[in-house]
Structure 1
Amino acid sequence: MDVPPAYAAGVRLLPNAVTVLALCAGLSSVYFALAGQWSLCIVATGFAAICDALDGRLARLLDATSKIGAELDSLSDLVSFGVAPALVLYLWALEGSRFGWIVTLVFAVCMALRLARFNTLLDVEQRYPFAKEFFVGVPAPAAALSAGIPLYVTLQFGEGWWSGEVLVGGWTLVVAGLMVSRLPTLSLKTVRVPATAIAPLLVVVGIAAAVLVTVPYLGLALVAIGYLLLIPYAGYRYRWLARHPEAWDVPVRERRAAARAARSARRLGIRPPLRRRVAGGASAVARAVRRLGDTEPGLPVIRRNGTPRTGPGPAPQRGNRLRLGLRRARRR
């Protein structure tokens, strides 16, 4: 059995040090906003997002996960992606508005609720085994990135209708609502890239890097909009997996084959497996058999109260075969 290497105590503190750096970067964005340096605000928030993506992976790599690290990570996310972006948007566009401070408070509170729910769901057994592939609501870094779209567009193209107080405040409330919503969103932690897609993905990464270098603010806006456009796809994928238990234990890269098999089964008129609990499926079969017993003389049938009965019944009906889950072959 492989034994994990024993790291020095100083190395095991590295994930928490990265989390503290993320916290400091988030607070620094407020400092830059007070000085009116909006570009540095975006840089500081982006650095905080990079640190947030690294600290958890470093903790698992160094076998340095701890409760204090998890709590510190949540507090850092609240400050870096909740309080700091809300204050930056307030100082940029909402300071002169009557409802600007209300919008700021709502965004920060929704971020706190979103993180509290995330920490609670970590210890709760999920209903579906594939639930780990999705987040509930928009995660904290993505919410901070999406809330800054009006700022990115303004820095790229100048002031316009997209920098108005009403639009900025309304958009901030929309993102706050997405954070505390029950919408499933994709978790990039579980994404596996097949070997055949590595080369095209590297090309896409190169194009994205070129866009971020030449037109950084427009690139950030496009990334945020692209992420938001993935939310309907995440909802469709979640519902599809919930309806197809045969794909639950299949690796992600092999689910396309399961999807093709499901489509072929529908074309052939074969029903998918039972979608409900076994007890619910068994009771449905029992009801179908009870109806069939009314058409077949001498067939024992269980009544609703549990007592058996036999006897003749009316003539067979066409719907009995469908009630049993059988379909007629498609005519060609």
Structure 2
Amino acid sequence: MLVEPDKADRKLPIWTLLPNIMTVGAICAGLTAIRFSFQGNFEIAVQLILLACVLDGLDGRVARMMKSESKMGAELDSLADFANFGMAPGLMLYAWALQDARGYGWIAVLFYAVCCVLRLARFNVGNKADEDEGPADFFVGVPSPLGALLVLLPMFLSFLWWDSLVDYDVLIALYMAAIGLLLVSRIPTYSFKTTTVYSSNIKFILIGFAASLAILMTYPWLSLVIIDLGYFGVMIWSIFKYKALNKKE
């Protein structure tokens, strides 16, 4: 007896699966970062989180370029963001500095993870309701990938020059909670997605990117500290810029 194929089951070009493959790859990177953290190999763990950030930034763009966006891809992307930027960084910090802390260490991990999932839920609800989070140039609150990089700042500082920072578990727990609050806050943060450049300057952008990548690979902890501190500066600038734009309107 022949089974008729489901009417909803249609053939798709294999290349249309590339965005979802990238998202699944990002999930694997984030979960593997947790594994390496509990093995004490934090450098590889951070590299995997950076890889997850890159894949997170590319999968949606690739889907739009290929016109292969789907509801499943959107849900998968959201789950990947929670695993990579909510669970993984918190557990990395727990493995690094908070395992010997009292209950407040684990409470900080849970608080940060819940803030991350609430931030993602708010974003998803806004998308499904066809509502913007805010002006096109700004996010509402800190995006989860950047939140992951910010929350790992104590680890970067410790590996760079402040070795004893690992002993300040209370400070690290409070910092983690503060970053969690930034994720769910309503403060405007600049979105680089809308940034444009003149075509004549593309060569300089590419050269700058290559130089930045080389510096990141050569001096990873210093580069990551500079990126985090730079983004804190961008956040402060974003608040004043947002207020200035509202006054003009």
TM-score, structure 1 as length reference? 0.67
Aligned: 1:90 with 2:94: yes
Q: CA deviation at 1:156?
A: 2.1
Aligned: 1:229 with 2:233: yes
Aligned: 1:125 with 2:131: yes
- What are the Cα deviations for residues 69-94 of structure 1, in whole angstroms up to 9, with x where unaligned? 10100000000100111111011101
SS in 2 for 1:59: helix
1:1-332 equivalences in 2 (<5 Å): 9-98=13-102, 99-122=104-127, 123-126=129-132, 131-157=135-161, 159-161=163-165, 164-195=168-199, 197-198=201-202, 200-202=204-206, 204-245=208-249
Q: CA deviation at 1:127?
A: 8.9
Q: Which amino acid aligns with 2:231?
A: Y
Given the superposition, is the C-alpha separation of residues 216 and 94 from structure 1 closer, same or farther in structure 2, using an over 3 Å criterion?
A: same
Structure 2 runs not aligned, ≥5 long: 1-10
**Greater Cα shift, 65-74 or 115-124:** 115-124
SS in 2 for 1:135: strand
Q: CA deviation at 1:197?
A: 4.8
- Distance in 2, Cα, partners of 1:9 & 1:210: 36
Q: Which amino acid aligns with 1:109?
A: V
Given the superposition, is the C-alpha separation of residues 231 and 35 from structure 1 closer, same or farther in structure 2, using an over 3 Å criterion?
A: same
TM-score, structure 2 as length reference? 0.89
- What are the Cα deviations for residues 270-293 of structure 1, in whole angstroms up to 9, with x where unaligned? xxxxxxxxxxxxxxxxxxxxxxxx
- Distance in 1, Cα, partners of 2:79 & 2:217: 31
Which protein has the bigger helix share? Answer: 2
**Greater Cα shift, 235-244 or 174-183:** 235-244
Return the index of the structure with the highest Cα Rg. Answer: 1
- Distance in 1, Cα, partners of 2:133 & 2:56: 28
Q: CA deviation at 1:124?
A: 4.1
- Structure number with the bigger relative contact order (C-alpha 8 A, sep ≥ 6) is 2
- What are the Cα deviations for residues 241-271 of structure 1, in whole angstroms up to 9, with x where unaligned? 22224xxxxxxxxxxxxxxxxxxxxxxxxxx
Say if 1:153 and 1:162, in contact at 8 Å, map to a contact too.
no
Structure 1 runs not aligned, ≥5 long: 1-6, 246-332
Q: CA deviation at 1:213?
A: 2.6
Percent identical pairs in the alignment equals 38
Say if 1:111 and 1:179, in contact at 8 Å, map to a contact too.
yes
